[in-house]
Each structure stands twice: as structure tokens, then as C-alpha cells.
């Protein structure tokens, strides 16, 4: 690709290629009198180059400025920053004119008498100039543009003061005392927008308020005295304000003088400066900042400029430039910038800065001109370089790039940014769609720095991970166009670089070894030892000749480094075409760097070694590290260095052609044997490792070798890919001629879901108690979250996506085989996984034979294939919904395995011997019964693993949706065996150590039984299943009278009857042994049925009975022994108790309604419960139908808050209502106001008992939840406007804050995930009702849910646990004390997807469940 400088007509005086006179016309130098050059000629040339030379073309776009002599801008001065539209530039303009006139005086020797001659060559001259400049600048009194006229302001204030005294009302709003308090700070100078001298002002109305007290005393003191005192004080305030402004302006002026002086020193004095010598009219002290474009105006003096400043304002235009270290996103010409006044601009005197405004309407002609300029350019050229991109307004560049890409969609856009910050660079890259950023090797300050640039911009590291076809969008380094030197910088021999001409070749070689776009500037290869100035240079480049006769007029392959550059360019092209996409950079010494290009497909390498020539007197022995590498050298691609032909090379510029140094030659050798190169000692140090020792490697030398891989490496890679192929074939169900695939498939088919739980998961605590292994501990990282393979998969997927080869896990894998040994040994510890363990061992062997630097990459390839096979196996065993579901459904189904496993310290209660026979493992023939962990890692083993409530809330999603019906039945029966007091336990404890302190677990158990019957064909047969009752009576010991069998239906009925009778008991072993925080009263458990309403009631002020069960534990804060939430249904008198809301009471309704239907069909052997009311002489049967109807009649009457605010028996305290159109969480709390709290529980009831809800009320109530409770991942557990709300849970909070200490706010704000699942399901229930009257409601609801589920999908994939948490803090923020993997969170979100699918099957509506990206695709 060839880069053309702008082809438009240029500034007639400077001739600079970047000072464009007319953006819409071509440079007349391309034309002759007989043959004018047109855009068609240019277009034909570009096409010819593309078609014949296979060469693309790129040119510059200059949007930020136009030439100072452009005629069009005189017709449209609004397109510039001038003194009319930017009057804040007036002080800067006057300062600029002053400097110009001083420069004129110096040039004409008018100041020589005060020590300032025209020939400035001594620092003393500049010191004298500085003193003179300061004196003259002070005469300008620039501060007057910012200050007030004190006399005029006093007169204006005096008039306002008399009006105030005469009783005129002040118009400033607010109380006098308040305004008086703030008046002093508000009194400030208001800048005159036109920037006229002493025309700034102050607000006299605000000023009057400073003197409120004095004005109030006007009737008691002499009026004239008060006025005089006020005026005197106000005058002093004005003087002070003016002095503040003057001081600030003086700081700017001092900075301006210093910058002027520094510029003069650079141009005339400094060793590394321009060294102009003499001040002339053509070479002034400094460049001007402003140009006056008014026709016919010829300045004669500073006074003349001042006189004409206002009438010429719109023609006095600001020049462009750049500001060192400034924010590139800030426009330095706007009023909030002092760049022009402070003279901080490195000015381009031949360019006027263009003023676009915020939108095209602000400068129509300019936008239209630049749009046409863009169109003309991109219609011809294949790419553009955005000149001065960092100073071009971003919104302008964005607009033009959109236009350009509409014309040429494949436009290549490149820019050179001087932001010194990659983050800022990326803003431009992303906003403008830049394809590449120009990077320059010549800007490196050492060989090590050059190596850093090659590493940073030159490709992926060697051993990089293979990326999937679908990737997570992640930040990356902007693609580079890596130049050895750019066109607008000095030659390599410039003193600031500290290099010699011999350095050209090492620099070029390092660039060529980079895996990115590379480029060069004409003249670099030809040893031109000076900057080719695009403004001043008029000579022609030399022409090409194979046999040049004049080395100044012609160049050839023997010129400069062209011969070596030809090899380097061919090699760069070859490596790009051949897939050498990986790079490794190694500093062999301070002056020697090696760069390796590696092909990840063939494992061939090209290694380049370059030595800096910044010091030609260095020893020919570089004293560097040896170059060691795996493989065999196939050929030496290049051995070369630049050599001088004489000790003192001279140089003379040709008058017509750009010529380079001819006193140097490049010695270039290719395709030579490494052993034939003098000074290189080659040896074989191991069977696979070779080494080169550099005994003779002079400065400026380049060596490039090609390396073939060892046979052992090739064989090992082949074996790895055989394993991967066999695994992939097995996953795809293909047959293999070798039989490997069939054998693997058979092995995988024998695995049970509990085996897969072992293979993939087990947190640290689980694995420790089962096998004793624990999780694998990675040095400098910590233990993996799972002992199973998912622990590895999770970290590797994150490492892969960021290509983080420096990750501690990669370092550990490279350092040794410990992870391989741990994995195989752990799997071998499980008898049922013997075959799988042997298989994993076999596929690990070839990976361990690879070079250590390649092991992470190939280990990841193998792990990725293995993970997909395991996942596919799991999905095939998790039912049709999982195997055929959406990516999110698949991943959630996979998550269910995390919680369902066997842990010896937490087993289910015994089943009958005949039933246990049905749960034998196919390999070990041991009983294979899994339990459900409430969450990992907090609830992983022992007594804390199995919770009654959590188990049955999660059972539907974890086991029924995934068709694990057999295991679901075992869990239902196991808990039935533990029934005591009509309750199932909160903590299971194998039944023997159970704790019966929750009142809702039994109702969730009932719900799970109902769900089981609806999912499983002939599911009601479970009622007949026999189970082993642990407690024959409430007070008996476990299995006290031997084993007692009983059908499930009888146990169910017992639980109902006990509630009908009333439950009242004290927990066994009550005291600190079972709960160190609960008070004595809290160990009393009470529950029953209110037969006036049918509602469940229970609890007291000291215990917790539902899922919102946080018990206070802080003595310091005073909440110890106190329940944190009222949903425990508190006793508040001996007569009436609170009714269970929270969705639990509604569970009762749907359950008894369901049993009523089953009883009528003779599928359940009982009709109802026996009830004894005080007014009845004996017990009577209350049928399930009667009980259900009773609840239905009373439900909305008592639980819905309609906002009428009228006192009734139902709402005795309407004044406490905080939110209306909600459903209460409970009725009859001991703290009356908590009845009216908005909490997330009633959607549960909509799902399980929709018949209780009228559609209209349910709709508005769900809208209240959507508005006030829905968070990114969960539902707030309390409305944020509630006094008790605090959304951030911190369990170790040791403060004295009653509401939060020791995590007391666990259920008073934090956002729990599982209720959100019920909310989304409730929304579907109501949407289905509304669909007939409002078509499209279902689709709209599903789309809303899909939007929410996207957050869950991302959350699941972004954590090593590959799961969903228990809860989050405010607005979805991570809660460090939450379980990162929670059973009911996974279950309830999976339930949503299942319900959407079921609704689709019923209604056949169009829906999409968010695809995002899946584990399968990654």
C-alpha cells in the first residue's frame, strides 16, 4: 500500500502538504498548460496501481484546519475561530500582535541598543528580550478584559441601593437569612461575553443582600451614614474582585512570556533546536497565532491593530497547532481554555483552526465542504489517514467516517495519535472505527523498549490459546501499522534519537518480525541522513535503476539497506501468509533482542536476532545470553549488517534529488549454513534443544533463522489431536474405524448423574470429607472453586478469553505436571470412575510430552473438548428440556448437577429395603442416593447441607424439569420419614438430628409432591409408596420401636390433621447447644389453622418460621435474639395470631384444593380434616373443598391493600399504609405497620394458587413489584422506601447499627434471586389471562423476561462457580457473604424457562430465549 500526501491545492506560501488551500480542487502542480490534471486522472492511476501492481493506495484527510491563505474561508469566516464568534481570544490576539511587532523591531535592529541584536546567539540576548517583553506586555493591561469598571458599577449599585431604601422589593427569591449566608460566595465578577475592557459586571441585586442588616437599621440610624458605609465597603469588595482577576491574568501572562522565551531559545539558541541564527521578517522570533484575512488591511502598528480589532473581528482568525500533554478530547479554542493566551500552542502559522460547532447547523458551509471533500477522496482511494486525529473534534470525525463508509464500506482508516495514553487511544479507535493506529519504532528509546513495542503491537504471544469462533467481546490492543519511521519525524541520525545510520537495519528487522501491518517512509532505506521536510523540501526522490550511473539521481538494490529490506519484506509477507501469527520477544542483553515468529499450526518458527548500533565502538562480542530454542535450524534467512566504507563518511546534498549516504554498504547474506557464519557457535545442548552462542556479533548485525519442530513435538501434537478428534466424534455420535470413539461413548453412557457431579464439581469442603483431596491449590492464586474438572474449565475459559499466559495456573502447568497428577489421582479415588480416570490419564500423557511453553495451549484444547463431551453427556441424561433447550436452559440444567450429590456426612433418611434396591449404582452396585445442597460452599456437607425448605423450593427445577423423577421421589419419601409434630425439619440431619423450627417447609414439601404428580405419569402412585417412619410418635426416639412402614398418603394426612388440631411444642435440646442467639421463648413452636378464614397462623416474637428467617446476633447493636423480619407471623395477643402470608398460606390453599380434586377421583384416600371449634360440641369433618373455598373467599379481602385508607376490621390501621395496590406479606403482625410492607413473596402465590387473584389486582400488584423491587438479578426483599431498608448485606458487620449489625438486614433489602423466578412466572400466569383481551401480552411479557434473563446468563458465565448466587447487594452488586452457587436460584430461573416453553406449547406464540453465547459455543 502506498501513502500519498494530500493531492489538493496547497498553501501558496508554505507549500505544506497539510496546509490545504482548497479541499475541493487538485494541486495545480500536477497540471500543465496543455494537460490539466483531473480527479479522473488520479482515479485511473490508483486503479492502474491496484490492478497492475497489486498495490492499494491511501491518502490523508485533514479536517482540523485549512490553509491560512484559503480564499473560501473569507467568504465563510464563521468556519474559523475569530474574534467575533470567539471574543475570548482578544487578549491573546493583542499579546500575539505585540510579540510580532517586537520581532519586527529585533529584525530591524531597533532594540540592539538595549542588548537585543537581530542575531540572537547568546542566552544573555534572550534574557534582555524577556525583560523588555514583560515591560511591554504590562502596558497592554490585559486584565481589563476581565475586570469591572469600579466607578460605573458603584453608580449602578448606588441607584439600586436608593430603590431598596425606598422600599422597592428585591426580586431575589429565598429568605433573607439564607441568601445573606451565601451572598458573599455568590458575589463574583460576571464575564462580559463580548470581552470589552472593563465591561464585566457583578449582580447588584445579590450585592444588596450583603447589606441586609444595615438596610434594616435605616429607620434608626442616619441614612447618609449608612449609605456612605455601604458604598465604601462595596467599593473595597470590587477592588478585591478586580485584584483577584488581575492576579489570575498575570499568571497566564507570565506563562505566556515563559512560553515565548522557550520558543525563542529553541529556534535560536538551544543545541538541539533549529539554530536559525538571525531574526528576520521571514524568520521571526516565534510563529504568529492569528491571521487577519480582511482584504486590504496592512498592519502598521499595535495601536492600529487595536483600533481595527473590532471592525475586523470576524476576519481575525486563530491558527491551529497542538498542545503538548493536553487532553485530546478537549477543544483548546473554546472559552474554557487559556491555551492561546498562555501561548501553550505549538502553532502552525500556515493553518487556520476550523470551527464546526456541535452540529452541521452551526457551520453549514464547513460541514458541506468537508462532506464533499470526504466523498471525493474515498471514491478514489482505498484508505485514508486521519491527519491530526487527536485534535479533530470526535463528533466531526465520526460524522465524516460514517459518510465515508457509506461510499466505500471496506475503507481502511488509520490514524497517528499523540495522546500518550492507550485508553484515550481506544476512545478514538472505538468511536471512529479506526482499523489501525500508527506506531513508530524510531520512537523507542532502547532495544528493550523496541522489543516491548514488538511484543505489544506485533502479534499474539507464542503458545497463545486457540480462540473459539464465538468470543466474548473484550478489550484488546488496537491493531498497529508499525512503521520503522514516519514521514513527519526526524531522520534516524537526528541527535535526539542517539542512533547511527547503522541502526537502520536492526530497526527495520525488528519491525519486519512483527505480526502486524508494517511500513516505512521513503528515504529511510536509502540512508537519507536528514528530515525530509514536507513544507520546505522541493527536490525529487531518486529513480530506480538496476545499473545506476549517478548514485544521487538513481537508487538500486545496492543502495542503503534496500537489499536487506527486500528480504525482510518478503519474509514478513511469507510469515503472514503461512500463519506465523505468534510472537515471542526476549532481551538477550541491553543491546541485543531476539524476536520469534511462530506458527501455532505447524510449530515452525522464524527467529530474528538484532543488535543495536547506537554505539559503534561497542565490542564485537555482545556479551549477551545464548539463544536457546527447541527444534532444528532449517536455513538462515538473513545475516546482514551495515558497514561504513571509510572512517569519516561525508555527505553533500544534491541540488535536484533527495540523496542518501553512499559511504555505507549493507552486507547481506541469505540461505547460508549457520556453521559457516563467523563468530556464531552452534551446538545441540539436549536431544530437543539447540543453542547459538554469539562470540562475534557487531553492532548493527541482524540474524534471522528458520526452525523446524522436533519429531517428538510433532508426534505429541498428533496424539493430542487424535484424542480431541475421538472426543469430538464421540460427542457428535460418529463411528470410528479405530474403535476409540465407540469405547469412549460406552464409557460415557455408563456414567450416572451423580458420577458427573463428582467429575465436574465438589467444592473444597465436599471433596475433603469424601476423598480427602480437597480442591487443587494453585500457587499465587489459591484453591480452585471445584475439585472437579469444572474448577479447571472455569479458570481456563477465562484465561483463554483474555489470552492470559502469565496467569498463575499457566505458570503452574508449565512448571510441572502436578495438576495432571492431582486430577487423575482424584478421579481414581472413586470406584465408579475407574474407567474414566484411566481415560483421562491416557489423554494427558501426550500433553505432558510437549515443550513446557506449549502445554497450557494444548491442555486447554484438550480440556475444551473434554468439557463439551461431559456437558453433552450430562444434557443427554437431564431430559428433553435440557438436551433440546436454549443455551441458557442447557447451562442452568448443567448447574443442577452442582447441588445433587452424595456426601457421607449428609445422607438422606433411610428408605425401605425394597425401595433402596431401585437406587443401585450400575458399576459399584452401592446405593446411589443424592441429596440437595442448599448452596455452595456454605451448605456443602454435614448438618448444614440439607435444608427442608431449600430442598423443596429447588426440587422442581433441579429434579423434575430435568426428569430426575426417581431421585425426586426418594427425596420426598426421605423427608416424609422425618415427619414430627406435623412438620418436616428445617435441617434434615438424616432425620435423627433434625430440627423442627420452620413452619413453611412442610408446605413446600406438599407443593413438591403436587409438582411431582404433575410432571410424572401416574405420579399420584407415590401416595402408595411405603416409607420408614423415624419417629413413631412425637416424643419417641429415632426408630425407637423398630422400623415402622407407612404409605406416603397417611403421612401427608397426618401433617394436615396436626395443623388442623394445632401445633404447640418446645424444641428438643432447646438452648445454646442448638442456637446460641435465640431467646428461650423462641424455642416454642406454634402453628395452626384459623377456621374463620382457613389461613395458617403461627409463631411468636422470638422465633423465625419462614424463609425470611434471620435471627439477630449482635449484643453491641441490641438485636440479638430478635427476628429481623415480620413474616414470621408474630403472636401479638393470646387471642389472635398473625396469619401466614408470604405465599405460604396460599400454598395451603392450592394444596387442599388439589387434594379435594384427587379425593373426588379416589386417588387420595381422605376427604378432609377433623376440626373441633369451641362452639361445636364435637369434632366435625371439614372437607378439603370447604377449606379451599374458605381461603378463597377471604384471601383478597384480608391481603390486598387497595389504598382506600378507611379503617375496617381488615385494616385497623390505614394510616400505616405505605404502598397501595399490593398484597400483604402477612396479616396480624405484632408490629402493625409491618403488615403493609412491600415484599417479594406474593408472586409465589400467583404461581401456585392463581385462582385466588383477580386479574386487575394482580396486574397492578405485579407492576408495583416491577417498579419498586426488581433488580438486575433478583428482587429486593423490602421496598427501598421502607424505613427498615438496607440493600447491602455484610454478615461480619460489627457495628452498633441495629438494622445491619451482624447481617441483620439479610432479608430487609438485599436482592434475592429465587423470588425473581417466581415473579417472572407470575407475570406469565397473568399474561396468559390477558392475552385474549389484549393480544400480544404474552409476547411482550416474554420479551421483558428475556431481557432480565440476559443478566443471569452473563452472571452465570462470568464466575468460576458457573452458577448463580444466593443474593446480591444493591442494584445487583456482588455480595461477598452470599453463596456464589445457590440451589434455589438455579432452580427458580430454570423453572421460568420451562414455563415459557410450556406456555409456547399451549399457545404456540413466537418467542426467543436469549441466546447470548453458551458453554457449548465457547
Question: What are the residue numbers of the active site?
Answer: 387, 390, 488
DSSP character for 1415?
T
Beta-carbon contacts of 565 under 8 Å, excluding residues fewer than 6 positions away, are 508, 520, 525
CA angle 1086, 1092, 1098 (to 5 degrees): 15
Q: Which three cell numbers stand for residue 33?
A: 498548460
The closest of 924, 926, 879 to 907, measured between CA atoms, is 926
Task: State the Cα–Cα distance between residues 436 and 429, nearest whole angstrom.
Answer: 8
Q: What burial class does residue 880 get, using C-beta atoms within 10 Å of its C-beta: 0-12 exposed, 13-18 middle, 19+ buried?
A: exposed
Task: State the Cα–Cα distance between residues 1324 and 1326, nearest whole angstrom.
Answer: 5
H or E segment and range at residue 1196:
helix 1184-1199
H or E segment and range at residue 1010:
helix 1001-1015
HEC-encoded secondary structure of 342-373: CCCCEEEEEEEEECCCCCHHHCHHHHHHHHHH
Chain centroid offset of residue 1261 CA: 35
Query: Are residues 1266 and 1279 in contact, defined by beta-carbon separation less than 8 angstroms?
Result: no
Strands 290-292 and 316-322: antiparallel
CA angle 540, 545, 547 (to 5 degrees): 135
DSSP character for 1042?
B
Beta-carbon contacts of 918 under 8 Å, excluding residues fewer than 6 positions away, are 966
- How would you classify residue 628: left for phi > 0, otherwise alpha for psi between -120 and 50, otherwise beta? beta
How does DSSP assign 865-898, residue by residue?
A: HHHHHHHHHHHHHS-HHHHTS-HHHHHHHHHGGG
CA angle 567, 571, 573 (to 5 degrees): 120
H or E segment and range at residue 689:
strand 689-694
For CA atoms 1259, 1265, 1270, 1276, the dihedral sign is negative
The DSSP bridge partners found for residue 932 are 900
H or E segment and range at residue 914:
helix 913-916
Beta-carbon contacts of 913 under 8 Å, excluding residues fewer than 6 positions away, are none
Query: Are residues 1099 and 1131 in contact, defined by beta-carbon separation less than 8 angstroms?
Result: yes
Residue 1162's Cβ-side half-sphere holds a number of Cα atoms within 13 Å equal to: 0
Distances from the Cα of 471 to the Cα of 475, 617, 869, 1407, 1414, angstroms: 12, 51, 20, 25, 10
Query: Are residues 1230 and 1135 in contact, defined by beta-carbon separation less than 8 angstroms?
Result: no
The DSSP bridge partners found for residue 1137 are 1131
Beta-carbon contacts of 614 under 8 Å, excluding residues fewer than 6 positions away, are 498, 499, 500, 503, 591, 699
Q: Which three cell numbers stand for residue 966?
A: 426417581
Task: State the Cα–Cα distance between residues 1208 and 390, nearest whole angstrom.
Answer: 71
HEC-encoded secondary structure of 931-989: EECCEECCECCHHHCCEHHHHHHHHHHHHHCCCCHHHHHHHHHHHHCCCECCECCCECC
Task: State the Cα–Cα distance between residues 934 and 945, nearest whole angstrom.
Answer: 6
Task: State the Cα–Cα distance between residues 592 and 620, nearest whole angstrom.
Answer: 12
Task: State the Cα–Cα distance between residues 841 and 828, nearest whole angstrom.
Answer: 10
Amino acid at each position: 500500500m502506498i501513502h500519498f500526501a494530500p493531492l489538493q491545492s496547497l498553501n501558496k506560501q508554505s507549500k505544506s502538504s497539510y496546509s490545504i488551500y482548497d479541499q475541493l480542487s487538485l494541486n495545480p502542480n500536477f497540471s500543465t498548460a496543455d494537460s490539466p490534471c483531473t480527479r479522473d486522472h488520479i482515479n485511473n492511476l490508483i486503479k492502474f496501481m491496484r490492478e497492475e501492481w497489486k498495490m492499494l493506495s491511501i491518502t490523508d484527510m485533514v479536517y482540523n484546519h485549512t490553509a491560512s491563505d484559503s480564499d473560501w474561508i473569507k467568504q465563510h469566516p464563521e468556519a474559523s475561530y475569530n474574534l467575533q464568534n470567539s471574543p475570548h481570544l482578544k487578549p491573546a490576539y493583542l499579546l500575539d500582535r505585540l510579540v510580532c511587532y517586537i520581532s519586527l523591531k529585533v529584525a530591524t535592529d531597533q532594540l540592539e541598543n538595549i542588548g537585543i541584536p537581530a542575531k540572537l546567539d547568546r542566552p544573555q540576548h534572550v534574557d534582555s528580550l524577556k525583560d523588555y517583553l514583560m515591560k511591554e506586555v504590562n502596558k497592554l493591561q490585559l486584565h481589563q478584559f476581565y475586570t469591572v469598571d469600579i466607578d460605573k458599577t458603584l453608580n449602578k449599585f448606588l441607584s439600586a441601593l436608593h430603590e431598596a431604601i425606598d422600599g422597592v422589593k428585591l426580586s431575589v427569591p429565598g429568605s433573607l437569612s439564607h441568601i445573606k449566608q451565601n451572598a458573599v460566595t455568590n458575589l463574583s465578577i460576571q464575564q462580559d461575553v463580548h470581552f470589552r475592557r472593563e465591561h464585566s459586571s457583578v449582580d447588584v441585586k445579590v450585592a444588596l443582600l450583603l447589606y441586609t442588616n444595615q438596610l434594616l437599621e435605616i429607620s434608626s440610624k442616619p441614612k447618609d451614614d449608612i449609605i456612605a458605609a455601604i458604598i465604601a465597603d462595596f467599593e473595597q469588595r470590587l477592588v478585591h474582585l478586580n485584584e483577584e482577576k488581575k492576579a489570575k491574568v498575570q499568571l497566564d501572562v507570565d506563562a505566556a512570556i515563559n512560553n515565548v522565551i522557550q520558543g525563542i531559545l529553541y529556534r535560536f539558541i538551544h543545541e538541539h533546536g533549529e539554530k536559525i541564527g538571525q531574526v528576520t521578517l521571514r524568520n521571526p522570533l516565534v510563529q504568529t497565532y492569528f491571521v487577519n484575512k480582511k482584504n486590504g488591511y496592512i498592519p502598521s502598528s499595535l495601536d492600529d491593530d487595536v483600533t481595527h480589532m473590532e471592525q475586523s473581528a470576524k476576519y481575525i482568525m486563530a491558527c491551529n497547532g497542538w498542545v503538548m500533554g493536553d487532553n485530546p478530547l478537549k477543544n483548546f479554542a473554546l472559552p474554557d481554555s487559556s491555551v492561546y493566551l498562555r501561548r501553550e500552542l505549538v502553532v502552525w502559522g500556515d493553518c487556520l483552526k476550523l470551527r464546526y460547532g456541535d452540529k452541521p447547523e452551526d457551520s453549514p458551509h464547513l460541514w458541506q465542504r468537508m462532506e464533499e471533500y470526504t466523498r471525493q477522496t474515498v471514491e478514489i482511494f482505498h484508505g485514508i489517514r486521519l491527519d491530526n486525529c487527536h485534535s479533530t473534534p470526535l463528533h466531526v470525525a465520526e460524522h465524516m467516517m460514517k459518510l465515508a463508509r457509506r461510499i466505500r464500506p471496506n475503507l481502511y482508516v488509520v490514524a497517528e495519535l499523540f495522546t500518550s495514553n492507550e485508553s484515550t487511544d481506544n476512545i478514538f479507535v472505538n468511536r471512529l472505527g479506526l482499523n489501525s493506529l500508527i506506531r513508530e519504532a524510531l520512537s523507542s528509546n532502547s532495544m528493550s523498549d523496541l522489543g516491548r513495542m514488538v511484543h505489544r503491537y506485533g502479534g499474539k504471544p507464542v503458545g497463545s490459546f486457540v480462540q473459539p469462533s464465538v468470543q466474548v467481546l473484550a478489550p484488546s490492543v488496537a491493531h498497529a501499522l508499525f512503521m520503522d519511521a514516519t514521514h513527519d519525524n526526524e531522520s534516524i541520525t537526528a541527535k535526539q534519537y542517539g542512533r547511527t545510520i547503522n541502526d537502520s537495519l536492526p530497526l527495520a528487522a525488528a519491525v519486519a518480525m512483527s505480526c502486524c501491518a508494517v511500513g516505512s517512509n521513503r528515504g529511510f532505506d536509502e540512508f537519507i541522513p536528514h528530515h525530509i521536510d514536507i513544507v520546505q523540501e522541493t527536490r525529487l526522490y531518486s529513480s530506480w535503476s538496476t545499473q545506476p550511473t549517478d548514485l544521487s539521481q538513481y537508487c538500486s538494490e545496492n543502495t542503503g539497506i534496500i537489499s536487506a529490506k527486500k528480504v525482510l519484506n518478503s519474509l514478513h509477507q511469507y510469515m503472514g501468509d503461512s500463519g506465523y501469527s505468534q510472537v515471542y520477544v526476549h532481551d538477550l542483553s541491553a543491546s541485543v533482542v531476539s524476536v520469534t515468529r511462530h506458527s501455532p499450526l505447524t510449530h515452525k518458527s522464524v527467529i530474528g536476532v538484532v543488535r543495536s548500533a547506537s554505539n559503534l565502538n561497542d565490542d564485537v562480542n555482545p556479551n549477551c545470553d545464548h539463544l536457546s530454542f527447541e527444534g532444528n535450524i532449517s536455513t538462515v534467512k538473513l545475516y546482514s549488517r551495515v558497514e561504513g566504507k571509510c572512517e569519516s563518511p561525508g555527505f553533500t546534498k544534491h541540488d535536484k534529488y533527495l540523496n542518501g549516504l553512499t559511504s555505507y554498504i549493507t552486507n547481506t547474506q541469505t540461505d547460508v549454513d549457520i556453521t559457516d557464519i563467523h563468530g556464531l557457535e552452534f551446538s545441540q545442548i539436549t536431544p530437543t534443544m539447540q543453542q547459538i552462542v554469539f562470540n562475534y556479533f557487531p553492532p548493527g548485525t541482524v540474524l534471522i533463522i528458520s526452525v523446524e519442530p522436533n519429531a517428538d513435538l510433532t508426534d505429541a501434537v498428533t496424539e493430542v489431536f487424535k484424542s480431541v478428534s475421538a472426543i469430538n466424534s464421540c460427542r457428535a455420535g460418529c463411528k470410528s474405524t479405530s474403535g476409540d470413539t465407540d469405547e469412549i461413548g460406552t464409557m460415557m453412557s455408563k456414567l450416572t448423574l451423580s458420577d458427573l457431579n463428582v467429575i465436574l464439581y465438589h467444592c473444597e469442603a465436599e471433596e475433603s470429607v469424601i476423598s480427602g483431596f480437597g480442591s487443587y491449590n494453585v500457587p499465587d492464586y489459591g484453591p480452585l472453586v471445584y475439585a472437579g474438572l469444572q474448577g479447571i474449565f472455569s479458570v481456563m475459559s477465562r484465561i483463554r478469553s483474555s489470552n492470559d499466559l502469565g496467569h498463575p495456573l499457566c505458570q503452574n502447568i508449565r512448571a510441572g505436571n502436578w495438576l495432571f497428577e492431582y486430577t487423575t489421582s482424584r478421579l481414581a479415588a472413586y470406584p465408579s470412575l475407574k474407567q474414566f480416570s484411566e481415560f483421562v490419564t491416557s489423554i494427558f500423557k501426550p500433553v505432558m510430552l510437549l515443550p513446557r511453553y506449549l502445554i497450557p495451549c494444548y491442555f486447554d484444547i484438550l480440556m475444551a473438548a473434554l468439557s463439551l463431551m461431559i456437558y453433552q453427556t450430562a444434557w443427554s441424561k437431564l431430559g428433553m428440556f435440557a438436551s433440546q433447550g436454549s443455551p441458557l436452559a442447557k447451562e442452568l440444567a448443567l448447574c443442577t448437577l452442582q447441588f445433587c450429590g452424595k456426601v457421607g456426612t449428609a445422607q438422606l433418611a433411610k428408605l425401605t429395603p425394597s425401595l433402596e434396591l431401585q437406587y443401585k449404582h450400575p458399576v459399584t452396585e452401592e446405593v446411589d442416593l443424592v441429596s440437595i445442597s442448599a448452596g455452595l460452599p456454605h451448605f456443602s456437607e454435614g448438618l448444614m447441607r440439607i435444608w427442608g425448605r431449600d430442598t423443596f423450593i429447588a426440587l422442581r427445577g433441579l429434579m423434575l424439569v430435568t426428569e430426575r423423577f426417581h431421585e425426586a421421589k426418594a427425596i420426598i419419601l426421605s423427608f416424609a420419614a422425618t415427619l414430627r409434630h406435623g412438620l418436616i425439619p428445617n435441617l434434615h440431619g438424616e432425620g435423627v438430628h433434625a430440627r423442627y423450627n420452620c413452619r413453611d417447609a412442610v408446605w413446600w414439601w406438599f407443593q413438591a409432591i403436587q409438582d411431582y404428580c404433575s410432571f410424572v405419569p401416574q405420579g399420584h402412585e407415590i401416595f402408595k409408596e411405603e416409607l420408614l417412619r423415624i419417629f413413631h410418635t412425637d416424643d419417641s426416639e429415632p426408630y425407637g420401636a423398630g422400623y415402622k412402614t407407612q404409605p406416603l398418603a397417611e403421612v401427608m394426612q397426618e401433617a394436615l390433621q396436626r395443623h388442623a388440631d394445632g401445633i404447640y411444642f418446645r424444641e428438643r435440646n432447646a438452648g445454646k447447644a442448638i442456637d446460641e442467639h435465640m431467646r428461650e421463648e423462641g424455642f416454642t413452636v406454634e402453628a395452626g389453622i384459623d377456621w374463620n378464614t382457613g389461613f395458617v397462623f403461627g409463631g411468636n416474637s422470638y422465633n423465625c418460621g419462614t424463609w425470611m428467617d434471620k435471627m439477630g446476633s449482635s449484643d453491641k447493636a441490641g438485636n440479638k435474639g430478635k427476628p429481623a423480619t415480620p413474616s414470621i407471623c408474630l403472636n401479638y395477643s393470646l387471642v389472635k395470631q398473625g396469619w401466614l402470608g408470604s405465599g405460604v398460606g396460599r400454598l395451603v390453599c392450592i394444596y387442599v384444593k388439589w387434594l379435594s380434586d384427587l379425593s373426588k377421583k379416589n386417588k387420595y384416600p381422605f376427604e378432609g380434616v377433623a376440626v373441633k371449634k369451641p362452639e361445636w360440641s364435637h369434632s366435625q369433618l371439614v372437607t378439603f373443598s370447604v377449606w379451599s373455598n374458605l381461603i378463597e373467599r377471604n384471601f383478597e379481602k384480608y391481603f390486598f391493600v387497595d389504598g382506600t385508607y378507611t379503617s375496617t376490621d381488615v385494616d385497623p390501621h390505614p394510616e400505616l399504609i405505605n404502598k397501595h395496590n399490593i398484597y400483604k406479606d402477612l396479616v396480624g403482625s405484632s408490629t402493625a405497620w409491618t403488615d403493609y410492607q412491600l415484599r417479594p413473596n406474593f408472586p409465589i402465590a400467583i404461581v401456585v394458587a392463581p385462582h385466588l387473584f383477580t386479574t386487575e389486582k394482580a396486574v397492578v400488584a405485579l407492576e408495583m413489584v416491577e417498579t419498586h423491587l426488581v433488580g438486575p438479578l433478583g428482587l429486593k426483599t423490602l421496598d427501598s422506601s421502607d424505613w427498615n431498608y438496607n440493600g447491602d448485606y455484610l454478615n461480619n458487620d460489627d457495628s452498633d447499627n441495629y438494622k445491619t449489625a451482624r447481617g441483620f438486614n439479610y432479608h430487609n433489602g438485599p436482592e434475592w434471586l429465587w423470588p425473581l423466578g417466581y415473579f417472572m412466572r407470575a407475570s406469565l400466569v397473568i399474561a396468559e389471562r390477558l392475552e385474549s383481551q389484549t393480544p400480544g401480552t404474552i409476547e411482550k411479557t416474554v420479551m421483558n423476561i428475556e431481557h432480565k434473563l440476559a443478566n443471569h446468563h452473563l452472571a452465570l458465565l462470568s464466575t468460576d462457580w458457573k452458577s448463580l448466587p444466593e443474593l446480591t447487594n444493591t442494584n445487583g452488586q456482588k455480595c461477598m457473604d452470599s453463596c456464589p452457587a445457590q440451589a434455589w436460584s438455579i432452580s427458580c430461573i430454570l423453572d421460568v424457562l420451562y414455563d415459557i416453553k410450556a406456555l409456547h406449547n399451549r399457545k404456540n406464540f413466537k418467542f426467543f430465549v436469549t441466546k447470548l453465547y453458551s458453554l457449548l459455543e465457547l
